[in-house]
A and B are shown apart, each in its own frame.
Chain A
Amino acid sequence: MLIYTLKRLVAGVITVWFIATATFIAMHQVPGDPLMNDKAVSDVIRQNLEQRYGLDKPVSQQYLIFLSNMLPPDPDFGISFTQQNRRVNDIIKDHFPVSAILGLLAITFATLGGILFGALTAIYRNRLPDFIIMFLVILGISVPSFVFAALGQLLLVNVNALIGYSFIPVAGWGTLMHMLMPSLVLGLGTMALLTRLMRSSMLEVVNEDYIKTARAKGLSPIRIFLKHQLRNAILPVITILGPQIAAITTGGFVVEFVFAIPGLGRYFIQAVQQLDYTVIMGTTVFYGAFLVLMVITVDVLYGFIDPRVRLK
C-alpha cells in the first residue's frame, strides 16, 4: 500500500509537470506580446517583468525559468500583470479557500444525497419513490448547472420576499447561509450521477450470492442491508469521486459567477478576460496539481476501505 501510494505520487508529479508544460505551450501560442496589451505598462514594470521572466531570452530558457520558479518547497507563480504588486501566490491564497469550501460542501451534499437516494431507489425498486427519484435524477443530469443556479436564486428571492427579510442571501459570500444554496446547486449534477450509480450498484449487489448466503444464515433484513449490501454497493461509487471532485471544482466557475462568490474560478475568468498571463498560468497549474492530488487521495482512501485493494 505504501509502495502503491509512493508510485502514484511520483506519477502525479510527472503529470503536474505535463500540465505545466501544456500550459506554457498554450500560453505561448496566444497571439501578441503579453506586455503589448491595451493597457500600457510602465517602463519600470516592463523591465522588471522582462528580467524576471526572461522574456527577451529564447523560448527554451523561458520554459526553464517558468519551471524552476514553480519548484517546491517554495513555488512562485509570479506577479499579476494587471494588479500591480499583487503576487499570484497571494491571489490563490485569498481566493482558493473560498472555492475549496464551496467544493467541499458540494461534494458532501452530493455524496450523502447520492448514497441516500440511491439506496432508497433500490429499496423501493419500481415503486413510486423510485420513479420520483429517478425522474429527478434524469432532470439533474440533463439540466445545466447554470439553470439550477438561476432557479436557486429565483427561489431565494421569492423565499426572502415571502419571509420579508433576507433570510438566505441571494448572492455573496461570508456566512454559512451564503454557502447553502451555491453548494447545493453545485452538487446537484454530481448527486444525480451518484444516485444513478448507487442504484445500479445496489441492484447488482442484491443479486450477489453472498446476499443469498446472508439470508440463508437467518440474518434480519436490516442487518443484511447495512452490513452486506450497503457497504459493498458504496465501493464502486467511491471510485468515481476523484473525477467528480474535478468536475465539481471547475463546475464551481458558473456558480461563483452567478452567485457573485469571490472564488478562484471567478478570478480566473476575470484574468482570462484581461489576459493576465501569470495569473492564468499560475491558476491553471495550481488547479491541475490540486486535482491530481485529489484523485490520488481518493484512490488511496479507497484502498483503505476495500481490503481487496489494500492487501495487494
Chain B
Amino acid sequence: MIDFSPAEKSVAIEQITRPSLSYWQDAWQRLKKNTRAIISLYIIVFIAFFTLFGPFLWQVDPALQDLNQVSQAPALPKQALLSAAYIQWQRIVIQDFPAEPDSYRDQVYAPKSLRLINMATTQGVRLSWNPVVGAGGYNIYRNERYPEGFNDLGLPLGSTYAGNEIGYEDRLGLEPLTYYYSVVPTDGFDEYEVYSVLTVTPQLTITVDEAKARNLVSDTARPGDVISLEFHPLGTDYLGRDMLARLMEGARVSLFIGIFAPLFFVLFGIAYGGFAGYFGGRLDAVLMRFADFVVALPFLLFMILFKIAFGVGPGESGIIPMLIALVLLSWPATARLVRGQVLQIREQGYIEAARLLGGRDHYLIFRHIIPNTMGVILVTLTFAVPAAIFTEAFLSFIGMGVVPPTPSWGSMCNEGVKTMLSHPHELIFPALLISITVLAFNLLGDGFTEALDSRLRSRE
C-alpha cells in the first residue's frame, strides 16, 4: 500500500555535516595520517634526544685517545692482560755456529722449529728458530693471512745479518689478531726461496702503569691480572677516540648549525620579505633587486670566502663564522617567498574588509598576514634544516668547515673517508647519521606540505 500522506521531515535541510576544524587542527589531523611523516617525527625526536641527553648517559670524553684501541671496529668490551713494564729484548746469538757461511750454497733448507719465546702479547712478539746451515742472515715477514707462496709473505718486518742470530722481536702496531710470521734465510744479501711459517695470536695487554694512569685498575692490580678495557660500542677512530662520544659531540655542531642558521635566516627573510611586500612600490623593487643579487652569489664559494674573511683564530671551532655566513647567504629565498605570499594576501578581500573597518598596519600584519603565511614558512623552515646540515657537512668534508679537533658529522666523514677501505665504520656512522637526519627532515617537510595544502583540504 502506498502512503501518499505528506511526509513529516524532522531533519533540517540545511545542516553542517562535518565538525568545524581550525586550519592547524585540520593540518595536524592529516599529518597524523601520514605514516612516513610521523615516523620521521619520531626519528627527529630520537636524534634530538641523542644530541641533548646522550652525553649525560655516555660520559666519555670525545677527545680522549685510547691508544690500545685505535681504529677499532664496533665490538663488545675487550679484555686485556696486565703486564709489567717492557723489558728490553736481548738479541739471540749462538756462539757455536758461524756468523757467516764458510762457502756459498745454491740451496739451504727452511728454518726449523720456528717458535715463540715468552707469551705473544700486543706489547711484543718474540720469535726464535734453529740456525740454518749456510745462512748469512734471515728476513722476517708478517702477514694477516696464510701465505700462499714465496711472493705472499706480507709485510717485511726486518732482517738479521748473521747466520747465528736466530731471534727477532716484532713490536710494530700489534693488534689482537692472528698473524702469520715467515722467516726466510738469506746468504747475507739475497734470499733463498724457502721459508717457515708460524701462526701467532698476540694477547691484548696493557702495562700496569698505563692502566693505572687511565683509572682502569685499582692500586693492588698486578701483572697477569685480566682486566676490561674501555668499551667503545661504535668503535674508535684513527686516533683512538670513542666514536659514540664523537658522534654525539658532532651532532651538537651539525644540528646547532642545521637548526639555528635556518631559524635566523628565515626570521630575517620574513622581516625583509614582509616589509618589502607589505609596503610595495619602489622600496619593494629596490629591496628585491638586492635580494636577487645575493641569490646570484655562488653559494659555496662565498661560504668559504666569508669563512676566511671572518678569520678563525687558534682554539676556535669556526662554528659561529659558518652560522653567520649561512645566514648572510640564505635569507633571500625566504624573503622572496614571504614577499610573494604577502603580495597575494594583501589583495584578498578580507584584508580590504579589515582595513575598511579601521585596522591599522600593525594589526593587519600581525592578525591577518603573518598567520596566513605561517604554513608556507613552516614548510620552508623544515626543508631549510636538511639543506643547512648538508652545507655544513659538505664544507667540513672538504676541510673548509669546522676546525679540528672539533668534531662534526661532516668532518668525521672527511676523516673516515681516508680509512674507508680498512675501517669503514669511521665513515659509515657519521654518513648514516647525516643521511637519516636529512631524510627525516625531508619526509617531515613533505608531510607538512601535504597537510597544509589548502587545495587538498577542500578535495576530501
Where the two chains meet, the residues of A that have a C-beta atom closer than 8 Å to any C-beta of B are 14-15, 18-19, 22-23, 26-27, 29-31, 138-139, 141-147, 150, 153-154, 157, 246, 249-251, 253-254, 257-258, 268-269, 272-273, 275, 280, 283-284, 287-288, 291-292, 295
Q: State whether A291 touches B431 (Cβ < 8 A).
A: no
Does B356 reach chain A (CB closer than 8 Å)? no
Nearest residue (CB) in A for B434 is A144
A190 nearest CB across to chain B (Å): 13
Where the two chains meet, the residues of B that have a C-beta atom closer than 8 Å to any C-beta of A are 292-293, 296-302, 304-306, 308-311, 386, 390, 393-394, 397-400, 410, 413-414, 417, 420-421, 427, 431, 434-436, 438-439, 442-443
Task: Please name the 7 residue pairs, one residue from A and one from B, whose CB atoms are nearest each other, closest first.
Answer: A142-B439, A29-B309, A250-B300, A31-B311, A18-B293, A142-B438, A26-B309
Q: Knowing A31-B311, A275-B308, A284-B305 touch, does A291 contact B296 (C-beta < 8 A)?
A: yes
Q: State whether A250 touches B296 (Cβ < 8 A).
A: no
Q: State whether A147 touches B413 (Cβ < 8 A).
A: yes
Chain B positions within 8 Å of A18 at CB level? 293, 296-297
Nearest residue (CB) in A for B427 is A150
Dominant secondary structure at the B interface: helix
Dominant secondary structure at the A interface: helix
Nearest residue (CB) in A for B310 is A29
Please report the C-alpha to C-alpha distance between residue A258 and residue B414 in the assembled complex, in whole angstroms: 10
The listed residue (A29, A269, A284, A295) touching B398 by CB distance below 8 A is A269
Chain B positions within 8 Å of A19 at CB level? 293, 296-298
Q: Knowing A30-B309, A145-B394, A146-B413 touch, does A253 contact B300 (C-beta < 8 A)?
A: yes
Q: State whether A287 touches B298 (Cβ < 8 A).
A: yes
Chain A positions within 8 Å of B300 at CB level? 250-251, 253
Chain A positions within 8 Å of B439 at CB level? 138-139, 141-142
The listed residue (A26, A257, A288) touching B296 by CB distance below 8 A is A288
Chain B positions within 8 Å of A146 at CB level? 393-394, 397, 413-414, 417
The listed residue (A22, A143, A254) touching B302 by CB distance below 8 A is A22
Please report the C-alpha to C-alpha distance between residue A40 and residue B304 in the assembled complex, in whole angstroms: 25
Given contacts A139-B435, A284-B298, 4 further A-B contacts (CB under 8 A): A14-B293, A19-B298, A138-B442, A144-B393
Chain B positions within 8 Å of A253 at CB level? 300, 398
Please report the C-alpha to C-alpha distance between residue A131 and residue B390 in the assembled complex, in whole angstroms: 25
Please report the C-alpha to C-alpha distance between residue A268 and residue B302 in the assembled complex, in whole angstroms: 12
Q: Knowing A19-B297, A287-B301 touch, does A144 contact B308 (C-beta < 8 A)?
A: no
Please report the C-alpha to C-alpha distance between residue A142 and residue B36 in the assembled complex, in whole angstroms: 15
Can you offer 11 A-B residue contacts whose CB atoms are under 8 A? A23-B305, A142-B436, A142-B442, A144-B435, A145-B394, A150-B413, A250-B298, A268-B301, A283-B301, A284-B305, A291-B296
Q: State whether A150 touches B420 (Cβ < 8 A).
A: yes
Nearest residue (CB) in B for A157 is B421
Nearest residue (CB) in A for B437 is A142
Q: Knowing A254-B398, A272-B304, A284-B305 touch, does A144 contact B427 (C-beta < 8 A)?
A: no
Chain A positions within 8 Å of B309 at CB level? 26-27, 29-30
Chain B positions within 8 Å of A29 at CB level? 309-311
A10 nearest CB across to chain B (Å): 13
B283 nearest CB across to chain A (Å): 19
Chain B positions within 8 Å of A22 at CB level? 297, 302
Please report the C-alpha to C-alpha distance between residue A27 and residue B74 in the assembled complex, in whole angstroms: 45
